[in-house]
Structure 1
Amino acid sequence: MTAYGDFIGQVINYNLRDSYSRQFFEDIENRCFYQIWSKIGSYNASKGEFKAWLGTVVKYQTIDYKRGLRASLRDMEIDDSFIATHETPASHDEIDLEPIFKLLTPTERQVFDLYFNEDLYPEEISKKLQMSTNAVYTNLSRGRKKIKEADVRWQF
């Protein structure tokens, strides 16, 4: 599992965009390792690569944790302006997704935006866009393939 430790950290960091959330990195990482350990039996090599399965588990654990944080803050009735002032300001480290999105069809763009930016599950995307869940997975797969074939380099 240590061979994937850096990858797990990268997925967590990518999904924790503000400094407030990033202070929970270690807790999220521990939860991810536990989930991976407890759900490794559900991995099916015929459905995809291990790294893709791993990234999905980590992504959704991170998203679930963030949702829990939001619910906790709502319950504590903390003023949103306090949290907003403690977010990391936009910097040159943010990735410009426009050149990447130009490679995709309008439908693929919608699916990618809902999946990666709004953190929706494929089932939620299918309901929102009125398409089958398989169509969501197909659009994600085709979009990833286009991006990979274009060999897009991230500009930092």
Structure 2
Amino acid sequence: MEEAELIARLRAQDEVALTELVVSYGGFINQVILHNLPNDFRRDFTADIANRCFYQVWSHIGQYDADKGTFKNWLSAIVKHQTIDYQRGLKAMLQNTTLDHVVLSTPPITEELDYETIFASLSKTEREVFMLFYRDDLLPEEIGKKLRMKRWSVYKHLSRGRKKLQEEGVINDYFT
């Protein structure tokens, strides 16, 4: 679909055009969002920010003027400002949150996890690192001292192991 046709259909509030926008520009929007987010913690909010961006385009497509610039530039400005606004709101929310009255609940584990089976596909070193990290709750620094490896090496083994487990579909909420 041509860009001009997409814009005309968006202005007519055609919902199929909104789907086309998501398909055609979704990757670009995610790139702009990730470029404007400073750390991995905030990158967890990429989908929320993208949804806000699509809503803003849907709501304000009438303000787009091709004589002032390209659609992609207009879109990137919306994405950038939505990302900044989201970060400000997140910062304000976190500043106003006190942990004095927060109760964290975790689902009770009714049975002991079989770590040997879960980590069976990992290499010997990855399995040792995973056991110490997940079963024994040691920090990467402590694991590094115990296994005589650098802390970054512990992180590397955890990252590679998680990737293997994700590819096999073994990883779940306990191991993210």
The structure whose RCO (Cα within 8 Å, separation 6+) is larger is 1
- Higher gyration radius (CA): 2
